[in-house]
Amino acid sequence: MIRRTFLGLGAMSIAAGALYSTNAFTSASAGRGVAVNAADGTDALLGIDNVDSSDDPVFINNTSLEMEVTLEESDTEITFDGNSSPFSFPLPPTEIRSVEIEATDDSENAFVDITADLSENGTSRGQITLQRDFSVSPAESIEFTGEARSPGGSGTYRFTLRNVGNVDITFTGVRIDQTTAESPTRSAGLELNNQTVVENDLHIGEDGPLVSFDGVTIEAGQDNFEGRFGQFRPGGGPGNSPASMDGEDLRVTFQFEASGETFTSTTDLCIDGCDLD
């Protein structure tokens, strides 16, 4: 009986020692008959890889038991695979699971409380609790706003775009969906940041195609990105007089690329409130 008690304590000691050797584990408890080894890192009872890497962390079940792993934010607001904290997932014996951990602000590190409940055929066999300081990716905020500038009676339409996110945006396409002006059906092209990106007419209508152009980038935080639509004119030949856009509003859809993906976003360009449908 004494020997049996001693062996149980010995197994428990090895488990705690293995986990503590990473200076990250808080405690471990094991039920009778649970075998553990005195390894750390990816070979520990609950192995974890890519802790200090920009790659997603990987969790490894190095036991013959079922694990239910729970991740919970500690000092920084973060998401796990896009889910809010706490986040749980099963980890069968010998299986691995990667989890994307992303901060909702500009943090680059975050402490995560980790609990792994071990079971066998529905019977609890112990629990591992630990805390790790992970390298995390700051949340990507992809967002821009636009506002019209007094266009006057020349028929052109000036506006300003602001990149209020933390990711560079490259504009690659445009469509004029709607205007409050009654007569125009088209605009004579588009300039972005004093660069002509569309030379031909842009026809007005949300059912029309996006007109593509070579990318023009607005950097994260940039708030003075100037744009100008060419003269708005009614249908017919080029001799038609330009329409007055004074006090008129526009709804525009932009196509842009950010973080390796392509997006479309519709924005209203208005002077004094918006009268668009």
Phi, psi of 76 (to 5 degrees): -135, 140
Express each pLDDT in 10-59 by its tens digit.
333 223 333 333 333 444 444 444 444 334 467 788 999 888 776 788 99
Residue 55 one-letter amino acid: D
At 36 the pLDDT is: 42
Is the same domain home to 109 and 128? yes
Assess whether 168 and 256 both reside in one domain.
Answer: yes
Which residues lie below 8 Å from residue 19, measured CB to CB, with a gap of 6+? 25, 27, 28, 40, 44, 45, 128, 130
Residue 39 lies in a domain: yes
In a domain, 276, yes or no: no
Task: Please spell the DSSP secondary structure of 156-213, one letter per residue.
Answer: -EEEEEEE-SSS-EEEEEEEEEEES-SS--EE--EEETTEEEE-S-EE--TTSPPEEE
Q: What is the CATH number of the domain that holds 56?
A: 2.60.40
Domain that includes residue 178, residue range: 144-269
Asked, for residue 129, whether it belongs to a domain, the answer is yes
Tell whether 181 and 248 lie within a shared domain: yes
Decide if pLDDT at 197 tops 90. Answer: yes
Picking from 85, 117, 135, the residue at the C-terminal end of a domain is 135
Q: What is the pLDDT of residues 68-81, one digit of tens each?
A: 999 998 887 888 88
Q: Are residues 183 and 246 in the same domain?
A: yes
DSSP β-ladder status, 261-269 and 250-258: antiparallel
In a domain? residue 18? yes
Question: What is the domain count for the chain?
Answer: 2
Characterize 147-163 residue by residue with b for buried, 16 or more Cβ atoms within 10 angstroms of its Cβ, and e for exposed.
ebeebeeebbbbbebbb
Q: What's the pLDDT score for residue 12?
A: 30
What are the pLDDT digits (tens) for 106-147?
Answer: 677 888 999 999 999 999 988 888 888 887 766 666 678 888
- Pair 15, 114 in one domain: yes
Cβ-contact 15, 45 below 8 angstroms: yes
Last residue of a domain, one of 135, 162, 190: 135
Over the chain, what is the mean pLDDT? 79
pTM of the prediction? 0.55
Query: Is 7 in the same domain as 124?
Result: yes
Last residue of a domain, one of 135, 169, 188: 135
